[in-house]
A and B are shown apart, each in its own frame.
Chain A
């Protein structure tokens, strides 16, 4: 296999942990030393060949990496006839890209001599991944989840408990992902001497955005090589959904230094920007500080966080990773909203054309690919980050399409 020759993307990092004016650390002083410790452990680990070897071995034998690159010819017909390739993070153990970050951070936890991890989760995908890695490495695990989400995602709550994790429903604030993060931070500040906060995406105080990106950069590294090998050239465009932005930064990181490759991030447009019920930070948000970093935040005129909405729990967050804020402002990545309805159309299309049920998060990227393909036409070459599989979303999708979940065979057709 050809060695990767490109260098990591450069940023205007005049200050460590900053991306232009974004990022940084806005945390209680009590957490500063833990973040310093994490930063030091991370920097030591990434230059330690033994750490890289152990992680690579886990990726190969446990996650199932490299994840395949799948040509999606029938889906491509719906994309203006463009050639479409899917980067199959849905085939990873636990069903999404989340495992990449979780294994890396769990190994770091052990290196720091800590015995417990905590995590926040919305839909439960990151919580399940964290519980999985904790079980594998013999760490204690507590997952904070909005009470509302524990009800909607009862199956994932059961998965986490089967894996030995404690799941704590969060009943304060808006009882959603953002409040789960607040509770995880409160736990962390109290137990930091033996606990690592296993943050699930490229948000939060430095060094989290850089660290989580590092563990997901394998997506872009593999995808770039696979595109060159299978498609014979670099893609014209890369499409990824953007919740906090970890799968997107992972795949984008392989192409940031290739100026010919257009990068597109798709946020949740929810019920439509005009309804106010969405998670489009770049359409309606403004720079501000949330959960320890300066970034685009959905907020009111007083700086109070505005609740987000999306059919996809994984995109339902009022902030976004600070590096994305910078990539937005510099114009290197274009961010657009995709509404629930457009995402669900793309969801159904992939099911029917490729026999792949995607996560609803990933369906936002598929909808983006349809837009891009219609613009690029049959000469176009598009790479899509298929960040996760749709097993967790079957109930939501069935409800959306009016499929009867009872055993009687009289459900209506999704088309």
Chain B
């Protein structure tokens, strides 16, 4: 069993830094390479891995992740692939969570999904289109299996909404840095620091920032005010652009190392 989310954040904090969270969709670029690339990320300094469950209608995702999940689905990725990927990553010592739109979990069966994920060694689930109001059965199932539930807050969330979201969350709170979809951006939204501050005023849970982080420099900037930095599209884009398997590994390792230096407040080492 790998260390849990609370432990991963506590370990990062004890080192005086933010945690680094890396995302890849399961089955991308294929199931085996996905595990290989994520293990590379962890070796290069990623603390928590987020395994995406590819879904046909990813309405919170930008072009890079859409292309990746499309590719994964066409290659036959299913919910079982996701759970197997979590199992393989857990065996490799990684702290893994799943990121999934709600319908595949509901279809698989809320209880069954919680059971299978917990048995595979997964620690929690990020649900971008599930709000606490609709989450009754999910809260019960995850509580029963000791899984963390990560809900989102956004720049448009009122303090009242943030209170509702953090009350239903465990592990950490996902702060969507910007009003928009996933995708690497030249700059992290200026709305993020205020959102993190408002959220931290209402919860003791770690707050991690996602959407738009793509470089060590940006990670350093975000790490100055948040407990965690989430990077997805930037990894996906590198893999989509890589000419072959070795090039993808090399690019992913280098970005992970750059980001790891960033969350430690250091400049990239080259």
Give me the interface of A with B, judged by CB distance under 8 Å: 24-30, 32-34, 172-173, 178-179, 181-182, 185-186, 189-190, 192-193, 286, 288-292, 297, 299, 301-305
Contact = CB atoms under 8 A, between A and B. Distances in A.
Given A32-B161, A302-B79, A173 B56 contact: yes
Contacts of A182: 57-59
B29 to A, nearest CB: 18
25 contacts: A24-B134, A25-B131, A26-B130, A28-B59, A28-B128, A28-B129, A29-B151, A29-B157, A30-B152, A30-B176, A30-B180, A32-B157, A33-B156, A33-B158, A33-B161, A173-B66, A173-B70, A186-B62, A189-B181, A288-B106, A289-B129, A290-B57, A292-B129, A302-B79, A303-B108
A293 to B, nearest CB: 10
Nearest to A304: B56
B179 A190 contact: yes
Contacts of A24: 133-134
Listed from nearest, the 4 A-B pairs whose CB atoms lie closest are A303-B107, A30-B154, A303-B104, A33-B156
A305 B73 CA distance: 11
Nearest to A37: B156
Interface in B85-114: 102-108
A189 B129 CA distance: 12
Contact of B176 (A28, A178, A192, A303): A28
Interface string B156-190: 11100100010000000000100111000000000
B146 interface: no
Contacts of A291: 57, 59
B196 interface: no
B155 interface: yes
A288 B161 contact: no
A303 B100 CA distance: 11
B153 A29 contact: yes
Contacts of B180: 30, 186, 189-190
B154 A28 contact: yes
**Residue in A172, A192, A288, A289 whose Cβ sees the most chain B Cβ within 10 Å:** A289
A190 B161 CA distance: 19
Interface string B62-73: 110010001001
A38 B64 CA distance: 31
Contact of A289 (B56, B102, B165): B102
Contact of A29 (B55, B57, B107, B161): B161
**Residue in B56, B58, B153, B181 whose Cβ sees the most chain A Cβ within 10 Å:** B56
A25 B133 contact: yes
Contact of A192 (B58, B156, B157): B156
A189 B60 contact: yes
Given A186-B181, A190-B181, A289-B102, 10 more contacts: A27-B129, A28-B129, A28-B152, A29-B157, A33-B158, A181-B59, A189-B179, A192-B179, A297-B103, A299-B107
A26 B154 contact: no
Nearest to B181: A186
Contacts of A299: 103, 107
A185 B130 CA distance: 15
Contacts of B165: 29
Nearest to A191: B179
Contacts, number: 112
A186 B59 contact: yes
B2 interface: no
Nearest to A185: B59
B218 interface: no
Interface string B130-155: 11011000000000000000011111
Given A25-B131, A297-B103, A303-B107, A30 B155 contact: yes
Contacts of B70: 172-173
A286 B179 CA distance: 32
A301 B58 contact: no
Contact of A302 (B62, B107, B155): B107
**Residue in A28, A34, A181, A192 whose Cβ sees the most chain B Cβ within 10 Å:** A28
Contacts of A26: 102, 129-131, 134
Contact of B134 (A25, A172, A178): A25
A294 to B, nearest CB: 8
B66 A288 contact: no
A39 to B, nearest CB: 13
A29 to B, nearest CB: 4
B78 interface: yes
Interface in B24-67: 55-60, 62-63, 66
Contacts of B105: 303
A130 B147 CA distance: 45
Contacts of A27: 129, 131
A30 B57 contact: no
A34 B156 contact: yes
A289 B161 contact: no
A181 B128 CA distance: 17
B77 to A, nearest CB: 9
B36 to A, nearest CB: 24
A288 B56 CA distance: 13
B126 to A, nearest CB: 12
B152 A29 contact: yes
A205 to B, nearest CB: 10
Contacts of A297: 103
A34 to B, nearest CB: 7
Contacts of A32: 131, 154, 156-157, 161
A172 B55 CA distance: 13
A186 B105 CA distance: 22
Contacts of A304: 55-56, 73, 104
Contacts of A292: 129
